[in-house]
Amino acid sequence: MTNRLESRTMYTKHRQSVREVFFIPTLLSVAVLIGLVSALIGDGIWDMVSWLTILAPVVVVILAWWRRG
């Protein structure tokens, strides 16, 4: 019986450049940085901005798991 993880390959159809590999992680890190700074700046709308931007990586991971599952 084949292990479920062994049956999935992590290869793409083409070689990816460094820019392609790190584009999404860079966007997520910038979003989190904006969220952390906005949490320090003030209240009200800044709290909403901080919550949304800090939750962005969590949403991306959940969507990725859902797509693969």
* Cα gap 15→18, rounded to integer Å: 10
Mean pLDDT, residues 4-31: 81
pLDDT-derived band of residue 30, with 50, 70 and 90 as boundaries? very high
In tens, the pLDDT along 54-64 reads: 999 999 999 99
Average pLDDT on 31-58 reads 93
Q: What residues contact residue 24 under an 8 Å CB cut-off, 6+ apart?
A: 60
Give this prediction's pTM: 0.71
State phi, psi for 65 to the nearest 5 degrees.
Answer: -65, -40
